[in-house]
């Protein structure tokens, strides 16, 4: 969990073989990067208690930069609620709980199964991810109940982060949990849809995700968001953008990936009905009460921490792409492996010893394959033939939330010896990659990185180290 001294739990195993000096350097940088996006301190920058007043705001962290803080006299506040969900939501809620204590009337947060319990007053539901489960539904209903009971004179702190689409999955009327699970499975594992595209389908089918402003009436709504996106990001990329509302957008995505006919009948009927009651909040609904929105945390904190650590180690640093998204993991690994080889042989594009950093989220479309793995593990394994024999190259990639795919590992690490070790271990790498079976290979080599759940979610961190000649 963020705030612990050690994030990478199996470091001794990871540094027991191969390029030990390079592996230690990479793991030091990963460790620093994973500690960077802790939302706790920024929550306390935004929310403060001073002289009997609750002060909410920080111009630097507002989604509308420059907006001054707002003060509320504690004696005028009837109730304070905390509700929401996501992989960083419990850590955000913990900061509020430590600050406000018994001033909180009630709270409900959904986080991922496997997280430790951090909150004492706020109720925490450990829910399913990436596929929602009964706990996702039950916890989301409790969140909705809090939203609906808040009234004028109350304050609702809405804590949110990536992962909430599954963790707060309360199906819209006519759709069952089983229907939702099938949709999530096809989008997440089957066709490799980008996250914006997958969310375009999933969010319109649920009641809570993205709709706090629709349900909270009268009360002050304070959104505290850990986001996976860069501070200034372009519009979400949709490969088939011929929609006019959220229902049509969802249908366009399903048709683009040729999976409309694979959707459960109840899902198709729901989308075609286009009931306006379940659309995202309109601008008018957003303005129905004071609505304060803050960007608590984002991936730039992870990159700043990783870059700072690398420079402290005397390495040249280049951030190649902090938001490399929606490109298949295997070709990304192959390209990055070739770049690392270029660095070792020709010392470009920057002079070794150096580190190249990348982030974002790259999909793996597994279709009907039954392999066990994840995008970060597949990426580094795909790079291993390209860096085979390189004396100074080490590459690692992890998911910042601590879980890469359906298994328990955060990612993987490889070096110039890995490809030969794969063969010596009896694996045919091309076959394992074809079946998306990266975890058993890395586990057998002692190269699967384990952190446990980290309590945040700002996409992935990839570190490429070239020690020089």
CA distance 194 to 199: 9
pLDDT for the residue 1: 56
Q: Fold match between 11-37+299-464 and 40-237+280-297?
A: no
Residue 293 confidence (pLDDT) above 50: yes
Angle (deg, nearest 10), helices 246-256 and 265-273: 140
- The model's confidence at residue 3, banded by pLDDT at 50, 70 and 90, is low
Q: How confident is the model over 35-59, as a mean pLDDT?
A: 97
- pLDDT in the model for residue 235: 45
d(CA 280, CA 277): 9
Q: Quick: pLDDT tens for 372-422.
A: 999 999 999 999 999 999 999 999 999 999 999 888 999 999 999 999 999
How far apart CA 371 and CA 231 sit, in angstroms, is: 36
Picking from 368-372, 384-388, 447-451, which range would have the lowest pLDDT averaged per residue? 368-372
Predicted TM-score (pTM) of this structure: 0.93
CATH fold of 11-37+299-464: glycerate kinase, domain 1 (3.40.1480)
Which numeric CATH code is attached to 40-237+280-297? 3.40.50.10180
Mean pLDDT over the full length of the chain: 94
pLDDT of residue 213: 93
Residue range 302-313: mean pLDDT, rounded: 97
φ and ψ of 228, to 5 deg = -85, -10
Pick from 4-13, 123-132, 281-290, 392-401: least confident:
4-13
Query: What is residue 83's predicted lDDT score, i.e. its pLDDT?
Result: 98
- Going from N- to C-terminal start, the domains of the chain cover 11-37+299-464, 40-237+280-297
């Amino acid at each position: 969990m963020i705030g612990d001294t050690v994030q990478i739990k199996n470091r001794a195993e990871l540094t027991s073989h191969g390029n030990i000096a390079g592996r230690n350097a990479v793991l030091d940088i990963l460790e620093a990067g994973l500690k960077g996006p802790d939302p706790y301190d920024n929550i306390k920058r935004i929310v403060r208690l001073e002289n009997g007043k609750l002060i909410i705001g920080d111009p630097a962290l507002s989604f509308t930069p420059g907006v001054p803080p707002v003060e509320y006299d504690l004696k005028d506040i009837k109730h304070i609620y905390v509700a929401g969900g996501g992989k960083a939501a419990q850590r955000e809620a913990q900061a509020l709980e430590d600050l406000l204590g018994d001033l909180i009337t009630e709270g409900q947060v959904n986080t991922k199964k496997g997280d430790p319990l951090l909150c004492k007053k706020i109720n925490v539901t450990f829910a399913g991810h990436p596929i929602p489960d009964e706990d996702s539904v039950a916890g989301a209903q409790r969140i909705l109940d809090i939203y609906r009971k808040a009234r004028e004179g109350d304050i609702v702190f809405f804590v949110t982060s990536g992962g909430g689409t599954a963790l707060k999955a309360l199906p819209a009327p006519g759709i069952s949990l089983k229907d939702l699970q099938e949709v999530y499975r096809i989008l997440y594992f089957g066709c490799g849809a980008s996250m914006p595209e997958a969310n375009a389908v999933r969010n319109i089918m649920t009641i809570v995700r993205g709709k706090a402003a629709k349900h909270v009436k009268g009360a002050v709504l304070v959104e505290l968001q850990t986001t996976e996106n860069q501070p200034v990001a372009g519009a979400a990329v949709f490969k088939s953008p011929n929609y006019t509302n959220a229902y049509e957008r969802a249908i366009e995505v399903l048709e683009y990936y040729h999976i409309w006919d694979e959707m459960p009948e109840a899902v198709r009927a729901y989308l075609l009905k286009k009931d306006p009651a379940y659309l995202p909040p309109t601008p008018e609904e957003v303005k129905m009460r004071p609505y304060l929105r803050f960007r608590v945390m984002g991936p730039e904190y992870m990159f700043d921490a990783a870059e700072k650590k690398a420079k402290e180690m005397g390495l040249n640093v280049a951030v190649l792409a902090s938001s490399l998204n929606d490109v298949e993991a295997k070709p990304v690994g192959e390209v990055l492996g070739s770049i690392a080889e270029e660095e070792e042989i020709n010392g470009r594009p920057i002079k070794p010893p150096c580190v190249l950093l990348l982030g974002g989220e790259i999909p793996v479309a597994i279709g009907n394959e039954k392999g066990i793995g994840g995008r970060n593990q597949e990426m580094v394994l795909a790079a291993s033939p390209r860096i085979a024999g390189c004396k100074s190259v080490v590459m690692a990639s992890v998911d910042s939330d601590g879980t890469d795919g359906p298994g328990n590992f955060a990612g993987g690490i490889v070096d110039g010896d890995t490809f030969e070790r794969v063969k010596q271990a009896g694996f045919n790498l091309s076959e394992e990659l074809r079946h998306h079976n990266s975890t058993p290979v890395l586990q057998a080599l002692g190269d699967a990185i384990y952190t446990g759940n980290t309590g945040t979610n700002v996409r992935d961190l990839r570190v490429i180290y070239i020690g020089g000649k």
